[in-house]
Amino acid sequence: MTQYILALDQGTTSSRAIVFDRAGAVVARAQKEFTQHFPQPGWVEHDAAEIWSTQSGVMQEALSSAGLRAADLAAIGITNQRETVVVWNRLSGQPIGRAIVWQDRRTAGLCDELRAAGKADLIKQKTGLELDAYFSGTKVRWLLDHVPGARAQAEAGELCFGTVDSWLVYKLTGGLHVTDASNASRTLLYDIHAGGWDDGLLTLLDVPRSMLPEVRSSSEVYGQTSKGLLGAQVPIGGIAGDQQAATFGQACLDVGMAKNTYGTGCFMLLNTGAQAVDSAHRLLTTVAWQLAGQRTYALEGGVFVAGAVVQWLRDGLGLIRHSSEVEALATSVPDSGGVVLVPAFVGLGAPYWDPYARGTVVGLTRGTTGAHIARAALESVAFQSAELLEAMQQDTARGGTQVHELRVDGGGAGNDAMMQFQADILGVPVVRPKITETTALGAAYLAGLAVGFWQDQDELKALWQVDRRFEPGMGRDEAQGRLQTWKRAVERSRDWAKPG
């Protein structure tokens, strides 16, 4: 009997493969970084062929490390960096150029043009997304407009467009062209209410329908790996974008459950069930996953700079030599000494969406030390996350949804001081699970459900276990006062780099 699921976790800076057993525990893992290309300021690119070579390499390495063969696998699940765009020739399988990464800003001008033409509300109404260069649709348009011959090839039906999940499935299977609803919902081309590619949006962005992958559920058998790839054919049974997969891996399967991933940035998702909640606070409405044809929706908010502020303390200010030292430095003082740090190094995400905001430190005195700045840096992550949850609570209050705890994962979730402060500011418990590989675990769960490796969502809920629970210890008046001070500091960072 096959006893394992292989999850492929294709991220922004590395490709990973993790083998899970029936308890959801990690049996083996392998990881390999790949090249980041920055051809011009604001441009970020990946070599799609290198993405495939690193992903296929770690897939083999993880199996070898676990002493397993392909025949020991029940299924493969895929999770991926979202919004990154690959366009390739349908017959040769060769990309027409480098992949344009989600961080890339080259299409900001096109977004400004569409906004000036009054298209932002239409796009938000259909897709649940802000009109921003972050998403995939304008990147596809750019490739068709700037790669010689690309548009003619696309109109002749010779090109495939896909997010990274589609590219991996194509390579794994030798030609299958599919995606899932969670990834489709990040493209600016998919109507999240109708559940399909939208002809009006395709016309608006001038993207031929023939390029698009078939949209499938997040958990079903799409096909099998090619015969010569692993030594035995393995079903591919799960696909979800990384943040949606992490939400599934955290077993946030009921309405009102929320998770926050603390990485370079933060991504918070709140399960809103069958209702696509329209945010009044510029949060994103997205497909969390689709199972058996039924879509589950989520509200999502992003913090652009979270773990990156710790890297800045290390590399920019030299306050610490290693990121792991930040907790000790920050807790060497009882509080931030009145210092508030707004890490708007690349602007602000939700609920502000201010690309002209810049990093700001206020409240400095002669008594301020590096420890105070370090503490303010950690607190900034918690404050930004608290604003997201506050917005989510307000957006869903009319429907009676209440968040009773926040499940956390990612590297920053291991920082006890920051997690305690997060609970204090939120006023709800912050809960860290024993298995923190939640992104890959979510992909594994989706694949396992598709082949009967796990029977149902109740079984998955039972597998989720608490490592530590952080209870709020700060009075609500004090917490609200601290949050209001934070918002005053944010206002001082707003529009700083705006021309004129």
182 in Cβ contact with 92 (< 8 Å): no
Residue 190 annotated in ligand binding: no
Residue 476 annotated in ligand binding: no
Q: In whole angstroms, give the CA distance from residue 7 to residue 447.
A: 8
The residues pairing with 362 across neighbouring beta strands, listed in sequence order, are 340
Residue 12 annotated in ligand binding: yes
Residue 82 annotated in ligand binding: yes
Residue 457 annotated in ligand binding: no
Q: In whole angstroms, give the CA distance from residue 34 to residue 43.
A: 17
The DSSP-derived string for 386-455 is HHHHHHHHHHHGGGT-----EEEESGGGG-HHHHHHHHHHHSS-EEEES---HHHHHHHHHHHHHTTSS-
Distances 417 to 301, 334, 375, 423 between C-alpha atoms, Å: 23, 11, 9, 10
Alpha helices in 206-317 (DSSP H): 227-230, 242-249, 307-311
Task: Tell me the three state secondary structure of residue 237.
Answer: strand
Distances 496 to 346, 431, 490 between C-alpha atoms, Å: 12, 36, 11
Q: Please state, as a whole number, how many other Cβ atoms lie within 10 Å of the Cβ of residue 226.
A: 14
Backbone angles phi, psi at 339, to 5 degrees: -85, 135
Residue 286 annotated in ligand binding: no
Q: In whole angstroms, give the CA distance from residue 208 to residue 151.
A: 9
C-alpha 243: how far from its chain's center?
4
Q: What is the DSSP letter of 346?
A: T
Residue 226 annotated in ligand binding: no
Residue 243 annotated in ligand binding: yes
Count of alpha carbons within 13 angstroms of residue 350, beta-carbon side? 28
Q: In whole angstroms, give the CA distance from residue 103 to residue 84.
A: 8
Residue 16 annotated in ligand binding: yes
Q: Which residues are annotated as a binding site for glycerol?
A: 82-83, 134, 242-243
Q: Which residues are annotated as a binding site?
A: 12-14, 16, 82-83, 134, 242-243, 264, 307, 311, 411, 415
Q: Which residues are annotated as a binding site for ATP?
A: 12-14, 264, 307, 311, 411
Q: Which residues are annotated as a binding site for ADP?
A: 12, 16, 264, 307, 411, 415
Q: Which residues are annotated as a binding site for sn-glycerol 3-phosphate?
A: 12, 82-83, 134, 242
